[in-house]
Amino acid sequence: MAKLTRQDLFSLEKYAEIRADFRARVIAHKKNRRVPLGDHAALYFEDALTMQYQIQEMLRIEKIFEAAGIQDELDVYNPLIPDGRNWKATFMVEYADEDERRAALARLVGIEKDIWMRVEGFDPVFPIANEDLERGREDKTASVHFMRFELTPEMVAAVKNGGEISAGVSHRNYQATLSPLPRAIRDSLAADLA
């Protein structure tokens, strides 16, 4: 998948004009990019459109219009775009109640290593997590982790040929499986592969 360049972005003025429509488009797109894992966790799969939206919003909020600042944002978010042989996702532990979340994060140390994706006919693929920086500690994990799921060429071909995809988490204190992924999500993730 191609990485974003400055030419892919809207100027601050143009973005202000189209923001509502662009935001609605991205929200609709993201509906097929979220994989719930039980009641309190989910994978949010990233792609060029979700990252363009993130960059546009950062440029807007920070009022960045100079070339160097725009490039800095591109450098931060481009690594989260899949490159045709992997999926990249944000994993979130989701508890609305702050006390419940704090207790869960203490119980879920290491959960980022126990998330998996499986292509029909193959073994599960566990993620390479938090490549940018370590997010967990010995006494608690973070509520947000960035993940890359590397696929073999055979797995990519299987998905491109219609193979089902499953996802899950197998942590000692939290287990969940979604198998198979709903067709719309499966097809959206298949589009990330080349």
* Angle (CA) 23 29 45, round 5°: 110
- Reading the chain (194 residues) residue by residue, the pLDDT tens digits are 789 999 999 999 999 999 999 999 999 999 999 999 999 999 999 999 999 999 999 999 999 999 999 999 999 999 999 999 999 999 999 999 999 999 999 999 999 999 999 999 999 999 999 876 565 667 899 999 999 999 999 999 999 999 999 999 999 999 999 999 999 999 999 999 99
Q: Cα–chain-centroid distance for residue 106? A: 23
pLDDT digits (tens, 9 = 90+) for 168-190: 999 999 999 999 999 999 999 99
- Element housing 54 (H / E): helix 48-62
- Do residues 118 and 126 make contact, with C-beta atoms less than 8 angstroms apart? no
**CA distance linking residue 184 with residue 102, whole number of Å:** 33
CATH of the domain at 148: 2.60.40
**CA distance linking residue 118 with residue 159, whole number of Å:** 10
Instruction: Please indicate, yes or no, whether residues 92 and 139 belong to a single structural domain of this protein.
Output: yes
pLDDT for res 138: 77
**CA distance linking residue 83 with residue 1, whole number of Å:** 5
Domain region containing 71: 1-30+48-81
- Do residues 5 and 77 make contact, with C-beta atoms less than 8 angstroms apart? no
Instruction: Please indicate, yes or no, whether residues 61 and 119 belong to a single structural domain of this protein.
Output: no
Instruction: Please indicate, yes or no, whether residues 77 and 145 belong to a single structural domain of this protein.
Output: no
pLDDT for res 1: 72
pTM for the whole thing?
A: 0.92
Instruction: Please indicate, yes or no, whether residues 154 and 188 belong to a single structural domain of this protein.
Output: yes
